[in-house]
Amino acid sequence: MSRRVLRGLARSALLVLQAQAHWTVATFMTLHRLSWRIGLPFVLLVLAETVTLVVYMTMQIAAEERARLEHLAETDVDFITQASLLPGTERLAANMQRVSGCEVFFRRGEVITPAPDPELRSVLLAAPADGRAHRCGSLDVVAAPLDGGQELLLARPVGPGLLDPRILQVLVPFWLVALVIAWLAVRGLVRPLRQLALHLPGIDSPGPLHLAEATRKDEVGDVARAFLSTRDALHREREHRAAAEKMAVLGRMTAALAHEISNPVAAIKMHAQLWRGSGADDTAAVIEHEAVRIENLLNQWMFLSRPEPPAMRSVDLVPLLAQVVRAHRAQLDHTKVAAVVTARAPLEVSGDGKRLGQVFSNLLMNAIQAMPSGGEVTIDARAAGTAVEVVFADRGKGFSPAALAHFAEFFFTEKEGGMGIGLSVANEITKAHRGTLHAANRPDGGACVTVTLPCHVPAPDPMPLEPKP
* For range 53-82, the mean pLDDT: 86
**The CATH number of the domain where 380 resides is what?**
3.30.565.10
* For range 409-417, the mean pLDDT: 69
Is residue 229 in a domain?
yes
Last residue of a domain, one of 306, 324, 342: 306
Would you state the pLDDT for residue 35?
A: 62
**370 in the same domain as 283:** no
Of 16-25, 45-54, 319-328, give the range with the top mean pLDDT.
319-328
Is residue 445 in a domain?
yes
**409 in the same domain as 275:** no
**243 — phi, psi (to 5°)?**
-65, -40
**295 in the same domain as 267:** yes
Confidence of residue 451 (pLDDT cuts 50, 70, 90): very high
Is residue 155 in a domain?
no
**Number of structural domains the chain divides into:** 3
Would you state the pLDDT for residue 1?
A: 47
**427 in the same domain as 350:** yes
Is residue 225 in a domain?
yes
Last residue of a domain, one of 243, 275, 306: 306
Give me the domain span that covers residue 257.
203-306
Nearest to 395 by CA among 436, 443, 361: 443
381 exposed, middle or buried (CB, 10 Å; 0-12, 13-18, 19+)?
buried
* For range 132-139, the mean pLDDT: 85
In sequence order, which residues have a C-beta less than 8 Å from that of residue 347 and are 6 or more positions away? 316, 317, 318, 381, 382, 383, 388
Confidence of residue 27 (pLDDT cuts 50, 70, 90): very low
Q: With H, G, I as helix, E, B as strand and everything else as coil, classify residue 383.
A: strand
Is residue 131 in a domain?
no
Instruction: Indicate if the pLDDT at residue 392 is higher than 90.
Output: yes
Q: Per residue in 247-263, pLDDT tens?
A: 677 666 766 666 667 66
Q: Per residue in 178-195, pLDDT tens?
A: 888 877 777 776 777 777
**246 in the same domain as 320:** no
**333 in the same domain as 259:** no
**387 in the same domain as 299:** no
| Long-range CB contacts (within 8 A, 24+) of 160-169 | 161/58, 162/54, 162/58, 164/57, 164/58, 164/61, 166/57, 166/61, 167/54, 167/57, 167/58, 167/61
**324 in the same domain as 424:** yes
Last residue of a domain, one of 283, 306, 329: 306
Question: Omega before 307 cis (within 30°)?
Answer: no
**330 in the same domain as 424:** yes
* For range 94-115, the mean pLDDT: 87
